Amino acid sequence: MKLMRPPDSTTHKVRFVHAVVIHETGGPEVLRYEEVPDPEPGEGELLVRIEAAGVNHYDINLRAMTASDFPLILGSDGGGVRQDSGERVLVTRASGTYAELVAVTEDKLWSIPDSVSASSAAALGVPYTTAWWALVDLGELKEGDTLLVQAGSSGTGQASIDIGRAFGATVYATASESKLDRLRELGVEPLAYDDPKLSELGADVVFDPVGGEVFARSVEALGQGGRLLIPGAVDSPEVSLNLWSLVGKQARIIGLGNTPAPRETLDRIIEMTGNGELSPVIDRELPLEQAAEGHRAIEARETFGKVILKP
């Protein structure tokens, strides 16, 4: 969310909230916890009091290199309460959720039941809609399929595991050596990134947000007619592969592009979370003023699941 200049205090009493603001791109240290003027809702907007904000890789990319309009409040996912009605809501694909208060249009809000906490709601938005679009809508995942999730400890990786298990797939997931036991606790088969077993999986669907050297192993893991879903490349976008491996399997590589978030999809995700079919994994909850620590932990690959910021 781009910050506006406060009105002249001689004619208008300015009220302030806390937010995490960047004034330049750079490392986690550029995240600054500041007082900012209350957001002024524009036409069609309303105010939401944020109780929990989810940290996504998009936020890290924006902070590190792609933001250009400063000062800027980061964050696109959150759980909180509508100021006008008191309704508990999930906010997603908005801007400025690293704050106590945010102005959003109603199409970016979903009602959440009491059985879904604000932190769980904040963990659902971008990761779960991305994973659902990839696995269900494009990957055509179904009960009995074999699913491989690369980077199973990441936010979208955890969402993919959760959705895969809910759909009755046999789920394998990769992670660093220190995180394999935690993957096993989720009821999936954990694998190292270079495990020879990958080439024998015959996976129906592979979810790979890593790229780089992992990409070729994802292709090898595909079975006949398999689908490889690519939402991004947290390692490197430069990849190589043996085309004969792809051709021989009649497999498909599908880039997600700009993932849509239809209301009915997120309605179903929220419903499944509310009744216990889905359960987002939260690595840690940090005070909003410690947003830089959350970014640092994700970039250092120390996390297992979502980082949540609490205003």
In the chain, the domains with their CATH numbers are: 16-111+281-310 (3.90.180.10), 126-255 (3.40.50.720)
Please tell me the predicted confidence (pLDDT) of residue 130: 95
Q: What is the pLDDT of residues 41-100, one digit of tens each?
A: 999 999 999 999 999 999 999 999 999 999 999 999 999 999 999 999 999 999 999 999
CA-CA distance, 192 to 217, in Å (whole number)? Answer: 11
Sort strands 109-111 and 88-91 into parallel, antiparallel or unpaired: antiparallel
C-alpha distances (whole Å) from 115 to each of 129, 184, 233, 264, 274 are: 20, 26, 34, 19, 5
Q: What is the pLDDT of residues 125-148, one digit of tens each?
A: 999 999 999 999 999 999 999 999
35, 16 Cβ separation under 8 angstroms: yes
Please tell me the predicted confidence (pLDDT) of residue 295: 98
Q: What is the pLDDT of residues 152-185, one digit of tens each?
A: 999 999 999 999 999 999 999 999 999 999 999 9
311, 288 Cβ separation under 8 angstroms: yes
Q: What is the pLDDT of residues 242-263, one digit of tens each?
A: 888 889 999 999 999 777 878 9
CA-CA distance, 209 to 106, in Å (whole number)? Answer: 30
12 has pLDDT over 80: no
pTM: 0.92
Q: Read off the pLDDT band of 22 (50, 70, 90).
A: very high
Q: Read off the pLDDT band of 11 (50, 70, 90).
A: very low
Please tell me the predicted confidence (pLDDT) of residue 245: 85
What is the residue-averaged pLDDT of the chain? 94
CA-CA distance, 200 to 215, in Å (whole number)? Answer: 16
275 has pLDDT over 70: yes
Please tell me the predicted confidence (pLDDT) of residue 15: 87
Please tell me the predicted confidence (pLDDT) of residue 222: 97
189, 134 Cβ separation under 8 angstroms: no
Please tell me the predicted confidence (pLDDT) of residue 13: 64
Q: DSSP 3-state assignment of 108? A: helix
Looking at residues 209-213, what average pLDDT do you find?
A: 95
Looking at residues 209-221, what average pLDDT do you find?
A: 96
- Segment holding 181, helix H or strand E: helix 180-185
Q: Read off the pLDDT band of 219 (50, 70, 90).
A: very high
